[in-house]
């Protein structure tokens, strides 16, 4: 074999081995190998940017559920086994030969057996659904040096909104997450005037801010209603936004929160500026950060 061909074959084998190692499941490998491949250490932690990058590459850390079977499919499945088909043929043959009693008895057995199997399987399906709703898996992860609790499925999802376009995207993300997980959606709007100064307060009266707050929270609540989401909690609070949001998370046992990256580029810019960043850094729960839409209409979170 020529040297160039031999080198090419060896290089191909090396790449094949490397690709096989990359695809290998982490379970049979040693802890040190997995940590080395993941570029982390036992005592270290991942930054929020690294978490977002890996989530985009590998997808969410959750198990894919099989599609639930409909009741009609479950019912039909009771009569598709080989034994049932043979008994059906025997019953038909009995009717053809004039043995009405035997044919009726066989059909009665088939119907009763199918009914029992259908009821039993539907109860098992409903029991599994109830167990999934009751079961909550909790763990703790390290993000940027802090321990943070994670719970799935979440029971309560918070979406603070200021009426901006990015906040509306966060509202829709929160609605979708609540529909998928069955969690209760909490909508929160914070009215804050203390940091505006006397000139701003003379232009934007407390009553005007409160009226606008009702409009903002009302629009978000309407989006949830249009999505047939129930129940929904909508609240308007007064105070410093980041502090109010953190207090609300703690008092209402919120699991995750969803927020837009920026506030509205007018008055809300001064109220909600950097609020999302503050919450991401100091929140005791995971925060889903909804980003600006791309040119094709899609957006990252």
125 and 233 together in one domain: no
Query: Of 109, 133, 157, at which residue does a domain stop?
Result: 133
111 and 169 together in one domain: no
153 and 247 together in one domain: yes
How many Å apart are CA 45 and CA 41, to the nearest integer?
A: 8
Look at 169-178, 231-240, 282-291 and tell me which has the smallest mean pLDDT. Answer: 282-291
How many Å apart are CA 11 and CA 14, to the nearest integer?
A: 5
Q: What is the pLDDT of residue 186?
A: 93
Q: What is the average pLDDT score of the chain?
A: 74
Strand, coil or helix: 18: helix
Structure confidence at residue 128 as a pLDDT band (50, 70, 90): confident
86 and 176 together in one domain: no
| Domain assignment present for 40 | no
| Domain assignment present for 171 | yes
Q: What is the pLDDT of residue 42?
A: 66
Q: Would you say 217 and 264 are in contact if contact means Cβ atoms under 8 Å apart? A: no
Average pLDDT over residues 210-219: 85
Q: What is the pLDDT of residue 32?
A: 78
Does position 270 have pLDDT exceeding 80, yes or no? Answer: no
Q: What is the pLDDT of residue 229?
A: 81
Structure confidence at residue 194 as a pLDDT band (50, 70, 90): low
Average pLDDT over residues 174-199: 78
Give the domain extent around 123: 71-133
Does position 98 have pLDDT exceeding 60, yes or no? Answer: yes
Query: pTM above 0.95?
Result: no
Does position 9 have pLDDT exceeding 50, yes or no? Answer: no
| Domain assignment present for 197 | yes
129 and 166 together in one domain: no
Give the domain CATH number at 257. 3.40.50.620
123 and 152 together in one domain: no
User: Which pair of structure tokens corresponds to residue 11?
Assistant: 């290089």
273 and 209 together in one domain: yes
Does position 135 have pLDDT exceeding 80, yes or no? Answer: no
How many Å apart are CA 63 and CA 154, to the nearest integer?
A: 15
| Domain assignment present for 35 | no
Secondary element (H or E) of residue 211: helix 206-226
157 and 240 together in one domain: yes
Look at 33-37, 171-175, 246-250, 267-271 and tell me which has the smallest mean pLDDT. Answer: 267-271
* Closest alpha carbon to 188 in 174, 208, 206, 204: 174
How many Å apart are CA 164 and CA 290, to the nearest integer?
A: 12
165 and 259 together in one domain: yes
Bridge partner list, 46: 143
On the 0-12 / 13-18 / 19+ scale of CB atoms within 10 A, 14 is: exposed
Q: What is the pLDDT of residue 44?
A: 63
Report CA 92 to chain centroid distance, whole Å.
52
Domains in the chain, number: 2
Structure confidence at residue 271 as a pLDDT band (50, 70, 90): very low
| Domain assignment present for 299 | no
165 and 285 together in one domain: yes
For residue 13, give every residue at least 6 positions away whose Cβ sits within 8 Å of its Cβ, in sequence order, or none.
none
Q: What is the pLDDT of residue 165?
A: 84
Q: Would you say 148 and 139 are in contact if contact means Cβ atoms under 8 Å apart? A: no
How many Å apart are CA 298 and CA 276, to the nearest integer?
A: 20
129 and 152 together in one domain: no
Cα–Cα–Cα angle for 288, 293, 295, rounded to 5 degrees? 155
User: Which pair of structure tokens corresponds to residue 281?
Assistant: 């850094």
Does position 187 have pLDDT exceeding 90, yes or no? Answer: yes
Q: What is the largest CA-CA distance in the chain?
A: 100
CA distance readout (Å), 89 to 76, 99, 103, 107, 108: 17, 13, 10, 10, 14
CA distance readout (Å), 51 to 90, 121, 144: 63, 40, 10
Question: Which segments of 31-164 does DSSP mark as H helices, in order?
Answer: 31-38, 48-58, 71-77, 82-96, 100-134
77 and 165 together in one domain: no
How many Å apart are CA 264 and CA 270, to the nearest integer?
A: 9
Task: Tell me the percentage of the chain whose pLDDT exceeds 90.
Answer: 4
Query: Of 91, 110, 133, at which residue does a domain stop?
Result: 133
Does position 23 have pLDDT exceeding 70, yes or no? Answer: no
Does position 269 have pLDDT exceeding 50, yes or no? Answer: no
How many Å apart are CA 200 and CA 195, to the nearest integer?
A: 9
How many Å apart are CA 128 and CA 138, to the nearest integer?
A: 19
| Domain assignment present for 156 | yes
| Domain assignment present for 32 | no
Sheet of strand 287-290, all strands in order from the earlier edge strand to the far edge: 232-238, 184-191, 156-160, 257-260, 287-290
| Domain assignment present for 1 | no
State the residue for tokens 């979406």: 159
Q: How do residues 40-95 score in pLDDT, each as one tens digit?
A: 766 666 666 777 777 777 776 666 666 777 888 888 888 888 888 888 898 899 88
């Amino acid at each position: 074999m020529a040297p160039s061909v031999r080198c090419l074959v060896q290089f191909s084998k090396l790449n094949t081995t490397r690709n096989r190692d990359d695809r290998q499941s982490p379970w049979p490998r040693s802890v040190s190998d997995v940590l080395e491949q993941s570029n982390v250490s036992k005592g270290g932690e991942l930054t929020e940017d690294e978490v977002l990058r890996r989530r985009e590459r590998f997808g969410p850390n959750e198990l894919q559920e099989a599609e639930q079977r409909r009741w009609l499919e479950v019912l039909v499945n009771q009569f598709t086994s080989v034994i049932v088909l043979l008994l059906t043929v025997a019953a038909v043959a009995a009717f053809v030969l004039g043995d009405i009693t035997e044919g009726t008895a066989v059909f009665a057995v088939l119907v009763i057996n199918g009914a029992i199997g259908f009821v039993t399987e539907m109860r098992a399906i409903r029991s599994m659904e109830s167990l999934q709703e009751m079961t909550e898996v909790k763990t703790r992860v390290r993000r940027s040096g802090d321990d943070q609790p994670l719970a799935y499925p979440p029971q309560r999802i918070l979406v603070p909104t200021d009426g901006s376009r990015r906040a509306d995207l966060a509202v829709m993300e929160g609605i979708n997450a609540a529909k998928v997980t069955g969690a209760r959606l909490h909508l929160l709007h914070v009215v804050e005037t203390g940091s505006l100064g006397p000139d701003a307060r003379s232009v934007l009266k407390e009553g005007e801010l409160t009226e606008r707050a009702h409009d903002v929270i009302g629009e978000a609540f309407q989006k949830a209603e249009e999505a047939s989401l129930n129940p929904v909690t909508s609240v308007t609070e007064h105070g410093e936004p980041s502090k109010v949001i953190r207090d609300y998370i703690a008092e209402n046992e919120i699991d995750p929160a969803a927020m837009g990256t920026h506030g509205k580029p007018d008055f809300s810019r001064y109220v909600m500026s950097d609020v999302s960043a503050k919450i991401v850094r100091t929140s005791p729960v995971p925060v889903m950060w909804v980003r600006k839409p791309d040119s094709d209409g899609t957006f990252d979170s």
